[in-house]
Structure 1
């Protein structure tokens, strides 16, 4: 039906195009309008007739298709009834055959199981009898072997036990001796620890220990001319600093400027802080930390008042803390090191940082020494340049003398070769004869020398 509509639509479009073309060709609009209307009316009538014809054809086709579907459904229903009846007969036959087969299989299986049961019972009885006989033999054999093994094990255990006991007693004796020696060493160590504790308990001894440690560091880092012990930094004052680093003055002959380095060890405050940290009491830790901070400030103030005396000293000093733990706790306090440097002009240093500080000072010494000795180096180079001209003249004279000696040696070599050629025909004497001859010549020469020395 749709292709027919498409064909009609195409025809209508063609007719309309032709009508438009014809209308465009004509000049009389009224006639053109009449013709177009007439053609449209005729076209609509034809289209209506064609549509009615198509409807009638479609109804006939639909009625025919309905009758075909009815016949097909009737045939399908009849065929399905026949197929269901056939399937029912086949299912009944299959069930009967399956039931008969299962019955036959069950009968055969029961008979087979009965036979297998009888055979298994007979085989088990035979195996039981055989196993009982073999177990009896094996039991007797095992009893005999176990007895032999027991005897051998007893002998070996006795031997091994005796050996182990001897070695164990020997080892225990050695360990007891080692324990006794260890106890003696522990007693000596306890004595040493007690001595060290007494040293650290005493303020004077504690300061001496820190001074010894700082002295070792200074000795390994600086030369003896670069630092001094027990320095009176100001001639008009009585205070003596533990150590002072000697810095050169600005002029060549000016007095040196001292950098004070003083040892401080507030052990009691630091140990109380460590005990509070071990206990885990935060309030006590804060209190002990404030006490340690207060002690460090007091020591820094003392250093500033006693040892910082410009221009005899630098405008800052170094506080040496002899343990890394105390130094770490000091720099860990917020703002403490900045306060010490700003208000008291004191730099805090530990065993490691003081080495770095001294190394930087040593580099400063070398730079300053190079600057001071540069004029001397230039004067020395001038003297070397003057002497080098004289040295060139001496070398020229030596070269002439060496050439003269070379000529003399060459002449002596030629004469020696001439004498050797002349003496080729002379027979050589043996070593003994030559030695005797030369010994005689020596004696004669000695006598002639004595005679020549004697008066007439």
Structure 2
């Protein structure tokens, strides 16, 4: 039991001896080993575990040794521990001294840094002030030079502008002067227009009065509107249409007859009934206006009935089997058709075609187009006839050419026979006269050049013989 207790106390002593340490301010631990190394806090737990294992091993070893030896070793260990404590205290004093020196050195370094910062700030301020001054001076110089150049450039640029503005002012003065003159002329023109409008209004009033009071005047006005419409469509008076043409008997005279292609005719008669229509326009209330319009539609129906009874298609054999009743105003016709819905169909059953200026213009345009097409067809026929005549003339010319070619061939053959006879029969006999000493005469025999002009061959297919059929 005592041995076990001694061993336990020895183990605890060794454990306490191994666990002695001094913690430094920087967080490192100084262990009681002769090397006394600085170790980081991370390895502290590992060292403690290793020291514990070593203490357990030493306690186990000491438990098996004699007590006297253990006491000797204990005393030696205490002495060694005291020495180590002394060394540790000295080391702690040295560490505190080093820490004090380091703090003093850090404070001195901080003071030096602060002085350097102050000097650098002062130096940087002076350098910055100098640089700013130089920069401002250079900028002022550059600005002055740029301003001078800009002023010169601006003057050079604005010189044409100033000239243009001067010209513009002069031109503006001229325009203003012309505007004043034109304004005066426009004022006079407006006065003349107003006067003309007044005259037109007076003339229109007189025309309305004349149309109301005189049937002959209204009829002449309708006939003139009819002629204007036909001429507007492109028809020619006396050629494409005739006015106031009468029959052979001289009894009936329609206002206009349009000549159609193929010898046919289209008869037009103008009817102008305005009294009831003008009364409807001047009516002060709706019943009076409606009654006047009804009378106007009835008047148009009566005119259509009278025109149907004349039966112009029987008097003019080439005429169409209907007559166009021209009403010189679309508003007159539309008012009558509006208040008599069956008027248009009834009139067509009576072989009367009611037409205003627009419808008549369309009909006349169609007739003019037909005449144009007829003329084109006639010209086409003339062109075809002319082409046939030209082709016949070309055929005659080809016959003459064939005879000329035949004659040319015969001429060449005759020429060749003549030359052969001359060379064979005549010239040998003539040479014998020269050999016999007969005088040859003053005029020598001329030398004949060879006839090498080629005859052009025909290339046109019309002049060549047809190819042989296999």
Bigger helix share: 1
Fold match (TM-score > 0.5): no
The bucket for the TM-score relative to the shorter chain is 0.3 to 0.5
Question: Which structure is larger by alpha-carbon Rg, 1 or 2?
Answer: 2
**Scaled by the length of structure 2, what TM-score is found?**
0.39
